[in-house]
Structure 1
Amino acid sequence: MTTPNATSYAMFSIMDLLPTFARIIGGSLPTDRPIDGVDQTDVLVGNSETGHRESLLSFIGGDLVAARWKQWRMYFTDVHPTGGGPQREPGLFSASAPMAGYPKAYNIEVDPHEDLVVAGVFSWISGPPLKVVEEYLAPVRKYPNPPAPNITRFNER
């Protein structure tokens, strides 16, 4: 059992709530589609400090913009903090512009503000996050994601 006020550095996603709570209540998960979350019960009850997740994908709407693997985060699209949160900016040479095939990588354990791009120094780092992306895309080909919600596109209704 966990100690009161204990903290953890385990990577945990909101997607992990479904499989975690299903296990806690003795439920079962759907078997007719992939489930993105992993069971993190061991983290909640104090049996694991690291949990069962070592990667996490980041999306803006339906667009995959970054992949995290362990302490590394790799961006495929520039993301700039604007307004109330990170958003892609339109136009050439902006956040939504292609990155010429060279993603940006950061070691967020030693650089949590993501100030120092380390992809050139740690060139090997592109392999694991890109593998995570391929593992994600494999079932998406068979089970496509539904479109991201957008209540401001009135002409599509």
Structure 2
Amino acid sequence: MVAGGPILFTNEGITKILDGTLKSGDTYKCALFLSTSNLGAASTTYAGVTNEHANGNGYTTGGIAVTLALSGTTTVKVDVDTDPVWTASGGSIVAKWAAIYEVSGNILCYWLLDSTEADVTVTTGNTLAVAAPAEGLYTVTKA
């Protein structure tokens, strides 16, 4: 499944990109959030975001570790090295949003899992693969 909506950056995420404090060597995770979550542009920390999918049914609270990969020289693309995948077991995984955050706490970006803004439900035995767009999370071009 590719992101259903555009990659949206939090205010803090944009600041970290622009001031150079976002580093590919930092530890990041991708977590899933319900439609009732307060996730948005003003979200600053993972701990401040409400209504993550509950622990269980193949999902672990906190999400899955992801590595941000940088490629290019004049135009640098930032992408997820390996897309996170969850397999539902013992019940469904339900989510509307995926978010990437630094394990130290800051939310970097988030996106809808379905273009109609509906919850995505993955039933037992099926997988939810959250794939970033082919163009990556973002690109920066040097003048």
Q: TM-score, normalised by structure 1?
A: 0.28
The structure with the greater share of residues assigned to strand is 2
The structure with the greater share of residues assigned to helix is 1
Larger Rg: 1
